[in-house]
């Protein structure tokens, strides 16, 4: 799997568009389908402030958390809203990639066709982490213990069937198929709390969600799922360095809305989003939050991107024989 998954698509810069007459004349509701404090929530709040500034003096965007089911609950809520431009979703690799690929019978929407996909924001690696006082100092030690002690390890991530779950299952498969008890949590902040308390032996979570715990010593990073070490934590090796050859997995964020939005309005919002993604200050803020920005998407290329990611994750599930369920 390629680290910069988004780059496979032909992103074209969207032209700046005139403000649609009378819009926005009320608050835009920007749904983050995970708990406050997690990586998706952090990105949503950074984008809400800056996109609002580009939509006119009357624009106001508020972030609302509707967490649960790996992002599916909030996503389905957005799906059922009117396509008038006043409800947005910060979709993720879990809500619109792994959930529909791994547990389609429990995902109540078509990730590609039930939404107006507005823009790709960027992608980010996952991190394999253990509690700060864990006996395991390297990923190799963790894998060796797991193989020698089937079922003795426990691990957690945000939601069953989400990007962290699929990454963790694929990691175990690549590391010799050791057995470990899976514990799903509602969001990244809960995963970090579980690590700090030692409730699980290890976790697979988005690097941005894990960053505070890693910096404060409540958790220790053993490996990142990127092709290279990440600038935020250059001391943490890659999965490849830890012995899982060419192991790469990225989560990502896009902004979507209910299906049926006026194409002109969709292009206008896309232009505002891309303008933020080209702003140096915003790029730095997002990088600190763990998101590597990918400016230049269009609504059409974003839809194509979602379709390609669902296909990618379905292929992983099929090749590994994984059976994920909540």
CA distance 185 to 137: 24
pLDDT band for position 19 (50/70/90)? low
Q: Give 72-122 pLDDT, tens digit per residue.
A: 999 999 999 999 999 999 999 989 999 899 889 899 999 999 999 999 999
Q: Is the pLDDT of residue 14 over 50?
A: no
Per mean pLDDT, which range of 36-40, 120-124, 154-158, 248-252 is the poorest?
A: 36-40
Q: What is the pLDDT of residue 70?
A: 80
Calculate Rg over the CA atoms of the chain. Answer: 19
User: 175, 127, 128: which is closest to 147 by C-alpha?
Assistant: 175
Q: Is the pLDDT of residue 12 over 50?
A: no
Q: What is the pLDDT of residue 68?
A: 86
Q: Is the pLDDT of residue 36 over 80?
A: yes
Contact yes or no for 268/59 (Cβ under 8 A):
no
| Buried b or exposed e, range 260-272, using 16+ CB within 10 angstroms | ebeeebbbbbbbb
Q: Structure pTM? A: 0.79
Structural domains of the chain sorted by starting position, each given as residue range(s) with its CATH number in brackets: 5-124+251-320 (3.40.190.150), 125-224 (3.40.190.10)
Q: What is the pLDDT of residue 69?
A: 83
Q: Is the pLDDT of residue 3 over 50?
A: no
Q: What is the pLDDT of residue 125?
A: 92
User: 116, 153, 107, 143: which is closest to 262 by C-alpha?
Assistant: 116
Q: What are phi and psi of 148, to 5 degrees?
A: -80, -20
pLDDT band for position 325 (50/70/90)? low
Q: Is the pLDDT of residue 324 over 60?
A: no
Q: Is the pLDDT of residue 129 over 90?
A: yes
Contact yes or no for 48/61 (Cβ under 8 A):
yes
């Amino acid at each position: 799997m390629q680290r910069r998954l988004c780059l496979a698509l032909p992103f074209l810069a969207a032209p700046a568009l005139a403000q649609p007459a009378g819009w926005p004349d009320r608050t835009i509701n920007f749904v983050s389908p995970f708990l406050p404090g997690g990586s998706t929530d952090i990105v949503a709040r950074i984008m809400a402030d800056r996109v609002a500034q580009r939509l006119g003096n009357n624009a106001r965007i508020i972030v609302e958390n509707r967490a649960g089911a790996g992002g599916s609950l909030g996503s389905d809520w957005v799906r059922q809203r009117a396509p008038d431009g006043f409800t947005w979703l910060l979709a993720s690799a879990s809500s619109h990639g792994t959930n529909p690929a791994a547990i389609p019978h429990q995902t109540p929407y078509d990730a590609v066709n039930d939404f107006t996909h507005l823009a790709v924001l960027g992608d980010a690696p996952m991190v394999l982490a253990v509690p700060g006082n864990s006996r395991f100092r390297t990923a190799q030690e963790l894998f060796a213990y797991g193989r020698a002690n089937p079922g003795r390890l426990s691990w957690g991530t945000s939601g069953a069937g989400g990007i962290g779950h699929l990454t963790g299952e694929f990691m175990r498969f690549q590391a010799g198929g050791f057995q470990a008890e899976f514990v799903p949590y509602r969001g990244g902040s809960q995963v970090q709390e579980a690590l700090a308390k030692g409730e699980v032996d290890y976790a697979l979570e988005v690097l941005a969600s894990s960053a505070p715990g890693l910096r404060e010593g409540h958790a220790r990073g053993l490996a990142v799922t990127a092709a290279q070490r990440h600038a935020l934590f250059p001391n943490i090796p890659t999965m490849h360095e830890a012995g899982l050859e060419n192991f790469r997995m990225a989560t990502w964020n896009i902004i979507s809305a209910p299906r049926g939005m006026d194409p002109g309005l969709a292009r206008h919002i896309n232009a505002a989003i891309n303008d933020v993604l080209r702003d140096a200050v915003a790029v730095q803020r997002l990088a600190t939050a763990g998101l590597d920005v990918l400016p230049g998407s269009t609504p059409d290329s974003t839809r194509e991107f979602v379709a390609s990611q669902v296909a990618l994750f379905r292929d992983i599930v099929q090749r590994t024989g994984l059976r994920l369920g909540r």
